[in-house]
Amino acid sequence: AGVPNGDYAGLAAGRYDATITSAVQSLPAGTRCTMNHEPENDVPGSTWVSMFRRFYTVAKAANPLLRIGTAHLTYGWRNGAVGGCGNNTGTQPPEQWDVGDAYRDFSAADTYSVRGQALQDDPQFRAWFDFFNRVSSKPLGIAEYGQYAVPPGGSRDPALEAKRASLISQDAAWLAQQPRFRGMWMVWNGSGAQGNWKLQDQASIDAWRSVAGNGRILAAGT
């Protein structure tokens, strides 16, 4: 869900409580939802945290069986500073982006690499992952995932496609070793500002099908 009218202060102050309640009260038990995904691209951390805490409190009161979590943008994370992208032209320390475990059931991220880089070696992904792995006891996941984009107007690169197929399997193996990772993982099979992320080669398709086929059993309450 998006912040109504971009009114972060109003949502934090309770102006949209009735709207939130109406939107979530009929959702099925276990539905995973968030508010304002990729917030690092929009506002400073303290502005977003105040809004999200209000959203979580109101939404859980309306439907306690929802699983409500944050969905970050790893592009905005780097070496002790978050931001510097989109409308959030300043930077903030990671601690300013921590809503606290009392206000989340999970933490997720959207993570992309235009030319392909293993998650375990990606400094932006690791800045996000390592921080929440340290400060939170809640499950971690990936809401959006992309390895290699064909640039706008460009042609497919067989070498980078082969690299992507290998990275999908490599990332899956590494994530499977992370106790807090809970398999909430979606490949972005479409286009974006950086180009076309779609899996068009058979090796990448097969690698992703293997990931999806294996799945990850979620424990109760995760």
For 92-112, how does the pLDDT look when each residue is reduced to its tens digit (9 = 90+)? 999 999 999 999 999 999 999
Give bridge partners of residue 33 from the DSSP assignment.
Answer: 68
* Cα-based angle 181, 53, 123 (whole degrees, multiple of 5): 40
Supply the DSSP string of 18-54, one letter for each residue. HHHHHHHTTSPTT-EE-SSSSGGGTS-HHHHHHHHHH
Helix (H) or strand (E) holding 125: helix 123-135
Q: Is 118 left (phi over 0), alpha (psi -120 to 50) or beta?
A: beta
Segment 20-47, tens digit of pLDDT = 999 999 999 999 999 999 999 999 999 9
Query: What pLDDT is stored for residue 186 in this prediction?
Result: 87
pLDDT value at 220 more than 60: no
Q: Taking the complete model, does pTM exceed 0.95, yes or no? A: no
Q: Which whole number is the average pLDDT over 121-146?
A: 96
- 52-91 pLDDT, tens digit each: 999 999 999 999 999 999 999 999 898 889 988 888 888 9
Neighbours of 77 (CB within 10 A): 27
214 has pLDDT over 80: no
What pLDDT is recorded for position 2? 86
Residues 172-213 have pLDDT tens digits of 999 999 999 987 678 999 998 899 999 999 999 999 999 888
